[in-house]
Amino acid sequence: MTRICNNCGFENQDDYDYCAKCGTPLVEGLKPKQVYVYNSQMPQVNKKAILAAYLVTIFLSWSGFVVGILAKNRMMATFTFFGFFMPFYLVQSRHPTIRKHGIIMMVISLVGVALSFYVLLK
């Protein structure tokens, strides 16, 4: 036998005291329980933080190339590996927008590292 909810019409199992769909009591005399609603929407992405992450990534991954060219100091090109820290961190995010920006930053870092290697091996 099933219990039909008077509020929403959902068919519940016989041993249920509350409706599985809407939480309405199925037995007379029971008081409604406090219901917690979980918001499954993804949180908003802070655009200023993403912009700052891009600036940090560009500065760190391309600084070895720029300093290597301007100062003719090839050893400064090794500094460029610090540009990978931010993208590696962002790629591991569960949020798809943050992960997408992390992949873009990874490409930016790879180009900066490749150019820095060019300066280092030149």
The residue extents of the domains of the chain are: 1-37, 47-121
| Chain-centre distance for alpha carbon 29 | 46
pLDDT at 36: 63
Q: Please provide the DSSP assignment of 15-45 as one string.
A: T-SB-TTT--BSSTTPPPPP------SPPPP
Structure tokens at 113: 């590292």
Please give the helix or strand (H or E) that residue 3 lies within, else none.
strand 3-4
Q: Give the pLDDT confidence of 36-92 residue by residue, as tens digits.
A: 656 667 788 999 999 999 999 998 888 877 877 777 766 766 777 788 888 999 999
19: helix, strand or coil: coil
Confidence of residue 99 (pLDDT cuts 50, 70, 90): very high
